[in-house]
Amino acid sequence: MYLKIRDIHNIVERHAPSILKENYDNVGLMVGDMECKVTSVLVSLDCTLKVIEEARQNNCNLIFTHHPLLFKRPDTITADTLIGEKIIKLIENHINVYSCHTNLDSAEGGINDIIMELLDLNCNNIIEPLKNEDGRECKDGIGRISELEEPIILSELCNRVKRCLGISSLRYVGHEFKLIKKIAVINGSGQSYINEAVLQGADCIITGDTTYHYVSDFEEQGIAVIDGGHFGTEWPAMKKVAVFLENEIKSLGFENSVVLSKVNMDPYKYK
Protein backbone atom coordinates (compact mmCIF):
# COMPACT_ATOMS: atom_id res chain seq x y z
CA MET A 1 0.00 0.00 0.00
CA TYR A 2 1.31 3.44 -0.94
CA LEU A 3 0.75 6.87 0.54
CA LYS A 4 -1.39 8.91 -1.85
CA ILE A 5 -2.24 12.59 -2.13
CA ARG A 6 -5.74 11.66 -0.96
CA ASP A 7 -4.25 10.43 2.33
CA ILE A 8 -2.67 13.86 2.86
CA HIS A 9 -6.00 15.46 2.01
CA ASN A 10 -7.75 13.27 4.58
CA ILE A 11 -5.22 14.27 7.26
CA VAL A 12 -5.89 17.94 6.53
CA GLU A 13 -9.66 17.48 6.54
CA ARG A 14 -9.51 15.84 9.97
CA HIS A 15 -7.49 18.63 11.56
CA ALA A 16 -8.10 21.75 9.44
CA PRO A 17 -11.16 21.03 7.28
CA SER A 18 -11.64 23.15 4.18
CA ILE A 19 -15.00 24.35 5.55
CA LEU A 20 -12.97 26.58 7.89
CA LYS A 21 -11.46 28.61 5.04
CA GLU A 22 -12.43 32.22 4.41
CA ASN A 23 -14.84 32.73 1.48
CA TYR A 24 -12.19 34.53 -0.61
CA ASP A 25 -9.68 31.73 -0.22
CA ASN A 26 -8.71 28.70 -2.30
CA VAL A 27 -7.40 25.60 -0.55
CA GLY A 28 -6.75 21.96 -1.29
CA LEU A 29 -5.08 20.33 -4.28
CA MET A 30 -3.85 23.09 -6.61
CA VAL A 31 -2.03 20.96 -9.18
CA GLY A 32 -1.97 17.19 -9.42
CA ASP A 33 -3.92 13.97 -8.91
CA MET A 34 -5.54 12.81 -5.66
CA GLU A 35 -4.64 9.19 -6.53
CA CYS A 36 -0.95 9.95 -7.17
CA LYS A 37 1.52 7.94 -5.08
CA VAL A 38 3.61 10.21 -2.85
CA THR A 39 7.40 9.90 -2.82
CA SER A 40 8.37 12.59 -0.28
CA VAL A 41 6.70 15.80 0.89
CA LEU A 42 8.29 19.24 0.79
CA VAL A 43 6.74 21.73 3.25
CA SER A 44 6.98 25.40 2.33
CA LEU A 45 5.16 28.66 3.00
CA ASP A 46 5.06 29.49 -0.73
CA CYS A 47 5.35 27.63 -4.01
CA THR A 48 8.14 29.58 -5.69
CA LEU A 49 10.24 28.54 -8.69
CA LYS A 50 13.11 27.87 -6.28
CA VAL A 51 10.87 25.67 -4.15
CA ILE A 52 9.75 23.71 -7.22
CA GLU A 53 13.39 23.09 -8.14
CA GLU A 54 14.12 22.12 -4.52
CA ALA A 55 11.30 19.56 -4.67
CA ARG A 56 12.68 18.13 -7.90
CA GLN A 57 16.18 17.81 -6.48
CA ASN A 58 14.90 16.11 -3.30
CA ASN A 59 12.61 13.70 -5.17
CA CYS A 60 9.54 15.25 -3.54
CA ASN A 61 6.50 14.90 -5.75
CA LEU A 62 4.28 16.79 -3.30
CA ILE A 63 4.77 20.39 -2.21
CA PHE A 64 2.63 21.22 0.83
CA THR A 65 2.23 24.99 1.14
CA HIS A 66 0.42 27.42 3.37
CA HIS A 67 -0.19 30.08 0.70
CA PRO A 68 -2.25 28.85 -2.25
CA LEU A 69 -0.51 28.62 -5.61
CA LEU A 70 -3.81 29.62 -7.21
CA PHE A 71 -5.93 32.29 -5.53
CA LYS A 72 -8.03 32.62 -8.64
CA ARG A 73 -8.36 30.69 -11.88
CA PRO A 74 -5.81 31.93 -14.45
CA ASP A 75 -7.08 32.99 -17.88
CA THR A 76 -4.20 31.19 -19.57
CA ILE A 77 -1.35 28.87 -18.59
CA THR A 78 1.69 29.93 -20.59
CA ALA A 79 5.39 30.39 -19.90
CA ASP A 80 4.87 34.14 -20.42
CA THR A 81 3.48 34.51 -16.89
CA LEU A 82 5.00 33.53 -13.55
CA ILE A 83 2.03 31.40 -12.52
CA GLY A 84 1.99 29.73 -15.93
CA GLU A 85 5.71 28.97 -15.73
CA LYS A 86 5.24 27.42 -12.30
CA ILE A 87 2.34 25.21 -13.38
CA ILE A 88 4.21 24.05 -16.48
CA LYS A 89 7.31 23.16 -14.42
CA LEU A 90 5.19 21.31 -11.89
CA ILE A 91 3.46 19.24 -14.55
CA GLU A 92 6.70 18.57 -16.43
CA ASN A 93 8.27 17.24 -13.23
CA HIS A 94 5.16 15.37 -12.03
CA ILE A 95 4.98 17.45 -8.83
CA ASN A 96 1.70 17.97 -7.00
CA VAL A 97 0.87 21.07 -4.92
CA TYR A 98 -1.50 21.04 -1.96
CA SER A 99 -2.28 24.26 -0.08
CA CYS A 100 -3.74 24.66 3.39
CA HIS A 101 -4.30 28.36 4.07
CA THR A 102 -6.99 30.14 6.13
CA ASN A 103 -8.44 26.79 7.19
CA LEU A 104 -5.07 26.10 8.85
CA ASP A 105 -5.03 29.64 10.30
CA SER A 106 -8.46 29.19 11.87
CA ALA A 107 -8.26 25.59 13.04
CA GLU A 108 -7.81 24.77 16.70
CA GLY A 109 -4.15 23.78 16.97
CA GLY A 110 -3.38 25.49 13.64
CA ILE A 111 -1.02 28.31 12.68
CA ASN A 112 -2.41 30.92 15.08
CA ASP A 113 -2.42 28.55 18.04
CA ILE A 114 1.13 27.40 17.25
CA ILE A 115 2.35 31.02 17.21
CA MET A 116 0.59 31.58 20.55
CA GLU A 117 2.34 28.52 21.96
CA LEU A 118 5.73 29.68 20.66
CA LEU A 119 5.15 33.08 22.30
CA ASP A 120 4.17 31.34 25.56
CA LEU A 121 0.73 32.96 25.52
CA ASN A 122 -2.55 31.40 26.66
CA CYS A 123 -5.61 31.79 24.45
CA ASN A 124 -8.50 33.41 26.32
CA ASN A 125 -10.62 34.34 23.33
CA ILE A 126 -10.90 34.12 19.53
CA ILE A 127 -11.16 37.43 17.68
CA GLU A 128 -13.51 36.18 14.98
CA PRO A 129 -14.80 32.77 16.07
CA LEU A 130 -16.53 30.40 13.71
CA LYS A 131 -19.80 28.77 14.70
CA ASN A 132 -20.95 25.16 14.80
CA GLU A 133 -23.99 24.03 12.84
CA ASP A 134 -26.13 24.63 15.92
CA GLY A 135 -24.94 28.26 16.07
CA ARG A 136 -22.63 27.82 19.05
CA GLU A 137 -19.16 29.36 18.84
CA CYS A 138 -16.35 26.81 18.56
CA LYS A 139 -12.60 26.90 19.14
CA ASP A 140 -11.85 27.65 15.48
CA GLY A 141 -11.59 31.12 14.00
CA ILE A 142 -9.26 33.94 13.01
CA GLY A 143 -7.03 35.57 15.63
CA ARG A 144 -6.37 34.85 19.28
CA ILE A 145 -6.43 37.05 22.40
CA SER A 146 -4.37 36.47 25.53
CA GLU A 147 -4.94 38.15 28.88
CA LEU A 148 -1.71 38.30 30.85
CA GLU A 149 -1.59 37.53 34.57
CA GLU A 150 1.34 39.92 34.87
CA PRO A 151 1.66 42.96 32.54
CA ILE A 152 4.72 43.25 30.31
CA ILE A 153 6.26 46.40 28.88
CA LEU A 154 6.19 46.79 25.12
CA SER A 155 9.96 46.67 24.63
CA GLU A 156 10.15 43.34 26.48
CA LEU A 157 7.29 41.95 24.42
CA CYS A 158 9.08 43.00 21.22
CA ASN A 159 12.18 41.13 22.37
CA ARG A 160 10.07 38.06 23.17
CA VAL A 161 8.55 38.08 19.69
CA LYS A 162 12.00 38.31 18.08
CA ARG A 163 13.43 35.56 20.28
CA CYS A 164 10.51 33.13 20.14
CA LEU A 165 9.80 33.50 16.42
CA GLY A 166 13.46 33.65 15.42
CA ILE A 167 13.26 36.98 13.61
CA SER A 168 16.09 39.50 13.60
CA SER A 169 14.05 42.68 13.37
CA LEU A 170 10.48 43.95 13.54
CA ARG A 171 8.43 47.15 13.42
CA TYR A 172 6.42 48.39 16.36
CA VAL A 173 4.17 51.27 17.38
CA GLY A 174 3.82 52.53 20.94
CA HIS A 175 5.93 53.76 23.86
CA GLU A 176 8.68 51.33 24.85
CA PHE A 177 7.51 51.31 28.48
CA LYS A 178 3.80 50.98 27.75
CA LEU A 179 2.31 48.28 29.98
CA ILE A 180 0.65 45.52 27.97
CA LYS A 181 -2.09 43.47 29.62
CA LYS A 182 -4.12 42.05 26.73
CA ILE A 183 -2.47 40.83 23.52
CA ALA A 184 -4.06 39.95 20.17
CA VAL A 185 -2.17 37.65 17.80
CA ILE A 186 -3.13 37.40 14.13
CA ASN A 187 -0.59 35.51 12.02
CA GLY A 188 0.29 36.74 8.54
CA SER A 189 -1.71 39.68 7.26
CA GLY A 190 -4.01 40.58 10.15
CA GLN A 191 -4.61 44.29 9.73
CA SER A 192 -8.30 43.93 8.89
CA TYR A 193 -8.93 42.26 12.28
CA ILE A 194 -7.22 44.89 14.44
CA ASN A 195 -10.37 46.97 14.97
CA GLU A 196 -12.24 43.97 16.33
CA ALA A 197 -9.28 43.05 18.55
CA VAL A 198 -9.29 46.58 19.99
CA LEU A 199 -13.04 46.40 20.61
CA GLN A 200 -12.36 43.22 22.59
CA GLY A 201 -9.91 45.11 24.78
CA ALA A 202 -6.53 44.29 23.23
CA ASP A 203 -3.92 46.95 23.97
CA CYS A 204 -1.29 45.34 21.74
CA ILE A 205 -1.64 43.49 18.43
CA ILE A 206 1.04 41.15 17.05
CA THR A 207 0.66 40.60 13.31
CA GLY A 208 2.27 41.36 9.93
CA ASP A 209 1.71 43.40 6.77
CA THR A 210 0.53 46.58 8.54
CA THR A 211 0.38 49.88 6.64
CA TYR A 212 1.39 53.39 7.65
CA HIS A 213 -1.90 55.31 7.91
CA TYR A 214 -3.75 52.43 9.53
CA VAL A 215 -1.13 51.91 12.23
CA SER A 216 -0.69 55.66 12.72
CA ASP A 217 -4.33 55.93 13.79
CA PHE A 218 -3.87 53.19 16.41
CA GLU A 219 -0.72 54.87 17.70
CA GLU A 220 -2.78 58.00 18.34
CA GLN A 221 -5.32 55.91 20.24
CA GLY A 222 -2.62 54.43 22.47
CA ILE A 223 -2.80 50.94 20.93
CA ALA A 224 0.53 49.17 20.48
CA VAL A 225 1.21 47.20 17.30
CA ILE A 226 4.07 44.75 16.75
CA ASP A 227 4.62 43.91 13.09
CA GLY A 228 6.80 40.84 12.82
CA GLY A 229 6.21 40.51 9.09
CA HIS A 230 4.04 38.10 7.14
CA PHE A 231 6.80 35.51 6.80
CA GLY A 232 8.00 36.00 10.36
CA THR A 233 4.61 35.33 11.92
CA GLU A 234 3.92 32.18 9.87
CA TRP A 235 7.12 30.36 8.96
CA PRO A 236 7.94 29.28 12.56
CA ALA A 237 4.54 27.58 12.71
CA MET A 238 5.08 25.80 9.38
CA LYS A 239 8.13 24.12 10.90
CA LYS A 240 5.79 22.60 13.47
CA VAL A 241 3.30 21.68 10.75
CA ALA A 242 6.04 19.71 8.96
CA VAL A 243 6.67 17.67 12.12
CA PHE A 244 2.92 17.15 12.57
CA LEU A 245 2.56 15.90 8.98
CA GLU A 246 5.45 13.49 9.36
CA ASN A 247 3.97 12.06 12.56
CA GLU A 248 0.52 11.71 10.99
CA ILE A 249 1.99 9.92 7.97
CA LYS A 250 3.87 7.51 10.25
CA SER A 251 0.72 6.87 12.31
CA LEU A 252 -0.91 5.61 9.10
CA GLY A 253 1.93 3.11 8.69
CA PHE A 254 3.85 4.91 5.95
CA GLU A 255 7.55 5.84 5.96
CA ASN A 256 7.46 8.73 3.48
CA SER A 257 9.81 11.52 4.53
CA VAL A 258 8.76 15.14 5.07
CA VAL A 259 11.34 17.77 4.09
CA LEU A 260 11.26 21.36 5.31
CA SER A 261 12.15 23.86 2.59
CA LYS A 262 15.56 25.49 2.88
CA VAL A 263 15.04 27.97 0.04
CA ASN A 264 11.67 29.50 0.95
CA MET A 265 12.72 32.73 2.64
CA ASP A 266 11.27 36.11 3.52
CA PRO A 267 11.38 38.19 0.31
CA TYR A 268 12.15 41.28 2.39
CA LYS A 269 15.72 42.10 3.35
CA TYR A 270 16.71 44.44 6.15
CA LYS A 271 19.85 46.48 6.77
Q: pLDDT tens across 95-125, in order? A: 999 999 999 999 999 999 999 999 999 999 9
* Beta carbons of 132 and 138 less than 8 angstroms apart: yes
The size of the chain, in residues, is: 271
Dihedral sign from CA coordinates of 270, 69, 32, 93: negative
Question: What is the C-alpha to C-alpha distance for residues 134 and 141, in angstroms, rounded to an integer?
Answer: 16
Nearest CA among 119, 179, 116, 124 for reference residue 147? 124
d(CA 101, CA 70): 11
Q: How many CB atoms lie within 10 A of CB 1?
A: 8
What per-residue confidence (pLDDT) applies to 133?
A: 66
Task: State how far Cα 235 lies from the chain centre.
Answer: 7
Sign of the four-CA dihedral 103, 107, 109, 113:
positive
Helix (H) or strand (E) holding 219: helix 212-220
How does DSSP classify residue 241? Answer: H
pLDDT at 132: 72
Q: What is the structure's pLDDT at 75?
A: 87
pLDDT value at residue 135: 63
pLDDT in tens, 201-211: 999 999 999 99
Taken in order of first residue, the domains within the chain and their CATH numbers are 5-104 (3.40.1390.30), 108-227 (3.40.1390.30)
Provide the pLDDT for residue 55: 98
Cα–Cα distance between 200 and 183 in angstroms, integer? 10
Q: What pLDDT sits at residue 86?
A: 98
DSSP string covering 59-125: T--EEEESS-S-SS--S---TTSHHHHHHHHHHHTT-EEEE--HHHHHSTTSHHHHHHHHTT----E
Phi, psi of 195 (to 5 degrees): -55, -45
Model pTM score: 0.95
**Which residues, other chains included, contact 149 with Cβ-Cβ below 8 Å and sequence gap of 6+?**
none
CA-to-CA distance for 16 and 222, rounded, in angstroms? 36
The per-residue pLDDT for 136 is 64
Q: Which residues of the chain have pLDDT under 70?
A: 133-137
| Model pLDDT, residue 74 | 86
Q: Which amino acid is at 136?
A: R
What is residue 1's predicted lDDT score, i.e. its pLDDT?
A: 82
